[in-house]
Amino acid sequence: MTKILKYREILLVIAIAALLVAITLRFPGFVAPANLARVYNDTSILIILALGQMAVILTRCIDLSMAANLALCGMVAAMINAAFPEVPIPLVIFAVVILGAALGSINGLLVWKLDIPPIVVTLGTLTIYRGTIFLLSNGAWINAHQMSDAFKALPRAPLAGLPVLSWLSVLAIAAVYLLMTRTPVGRAFYAVGGNPHAAVYTGIDVGRTRFLAYCLSGALAGLSGYLWVSRYAVAYVDIAAGFELDIIAACVIGGISIAGGIGSVPGAVLGSLFLGVIKNALPVVNISPFAQLAISGTVIIIAVAVNARAEKRKGRVILKKAEAV
């Protein structure tokens, strides 16, 4: 396992290091541990979401509805809290994780049972989930003063030097890493995306595996929904609008192949961090924050070009002497 898939991650680590060096030349304070911790914390939600998206992309699918799922779960969390402040926060989190997984499972079922192309399914549910937020909230905002203090405080609460939000993302990374590398279902994600035809022969149910990937991405979107709403202390229809593209961008930058079967948890995390560093560095080095979108677009294109080169299949090696080289 250790020898596999390491090349892309090392490249990314080098890229991020180079980025940090460049920023440090203009603004030395950026690499101060406290600031780096702040950058990590700021990227935590993106990391959690990228982990879910990675699972889906590995199985040759895509989840465009993640940000809408996040927004819907966030709104539900905020509404529960606003209406029943006495409900303990862990219970609220549990509820929205389940809700997120359920919304993800709708995507999964449509892909599994009806064989509808994933991009169409999630394009459809993306608009449906967003619309549902409007139906639930009547278009109204839920503001900071309507939320309980405990609701807002949890992600910010310091724990051994880092906010809980950061710790939650660390936990998610560890859990998904374990799932991906050490459980049959995690390996099935790779098998289904790498060679769906062969997966059937090895006794893997392709549709069911994809369904599970969507459930995972949904659950992580649900968790992120609470984190987003409590961190920014506001919930409305359009939160995280367009964020689905940032999530996919993080995955593509992290070397996860859109064709399925290739990718790793460190890749997804590094891809997210790359975007996170850029986003946080722009104001520091005096580049307009409006440039962020163009930069991440450029990075996506470069990343996909680099990935494509790495994945490019060599021609068949038939000549014996060529094989020796």
Q: Which long-range contacts (CB under 8 A, 24 or more apart) does 16-21 make?
A: 16/270, 16/273, 16/274, 16/277, 19/274, 19/277, 19/278, 19/281, 20/277
Q: Which long-range contacts (CB under 8 A, 24 or more apart) does 22-25 make?
A: 23/277, 23/281, 23/284, 23/285
- The one among 34, 86, 90, 288 contacting other proteins by CB under 8 A: 288
CA distances from 164 to 45, 82, 92, 97, 101 (A): 12, 22, 16, 17, 22
Cβ atoms of 167 and 48 closer than 8 Å: no
Q: Which residues contact 121 (CB under 8 A, 6 or more apart)?
A: 107, 110, 111
Q: Which residues pair with 158 in a beta bridge?
A: 163
Rounded least distance, CB 249 to other proteins, Å: 7
Rounded least distance, CB 304 to other proteins, Å: 5
Cβ atoms of 1 and 180 closer than 8 Å: no
Count interface residues toward other proteins (CB under 8 A). 79
How far apart, in whole angstroms, are the C-alpha atoms of residue 73 and residue 76?
5
Rounded least distance, CB 109 to other proteins, Å: 11
Choose the binding region for other proteins from 8-16, 17-25, 30-38, 196-204 (rule: CB under 8 A).
196-204
How far apart, in whole angstroms, are the C-alpha atoms of residue 293 and residue 121?
26
CA distances from 48 to 161, 174, 265 (A): 20, 11, 11
- The one among 71, 204, 206, 223 contacting other proteins by CB under 8 A: 204
- The one among 147, 220, 248, 270 contacting other proteins by CB under 8 A: 248
Which residues inside 136-195 make contact with other proteins, applying CB under 8 A? 139, 178, 181-184, 187, 190-191, 194-195
Rounded least distance, CB 207 to other proteins, Å: 12
- The one among 110, 142, 215, 269 contacting other proteins by CB under 8 A: 110
Cβ atoms of 246 and 45 closer than 8 Å: no
Cβ atoms of 100 and 225 closer than 8 Å: yes
- The one among 262, 268, 270, 278 contacting other proteins by CB under 8 A: 262
Determine if 285 is a binding residue for other proteins (CB under 8 A).
no
Which residues inside 52-71 make contact with other proteins, applying CB under 8 A? 62
Task: Closer to other proteins by CB, 163 or 255: give it.
Answer: 255
Task: Closer to other proteins by CB, 5 or 11: give it.
Answer: 5
How far apart, in whole angstroms, are the C-alpha atoms of residue 255 and residue 308?
9
Task: Closer to other proteins by CB, 145 or 197: give it.
Answer: 197
Choose the binding region for other proteins from 15-23, 113-121, 159-167, 266-274 (rule: CB under 8 A).
113-121
Which residues inside 296-315 make contact with other proteins, applying CB under 8 A? 296-298, 300-301, 304-305, 308, 313-315
How far apart, in whole angstroms, are the C-alpha atoms of residue 120 and residue 63?
10
Task: Closer to other proteins by CB, 85 or 117: give it.
Answer: 117
Rounded least distance, CB 139 to other proteins, Å: 7
Which residues inside 119-138 make contact with other proteins, applying CB under 8 A? 119-121, 123-128, 130-132, 134-135
Determine if 286 is a binding residue for other proteins (CB under 8 A).
no
- The one among 18, 140, 157, 198 contacting other proteins by CB under 8 A: 198
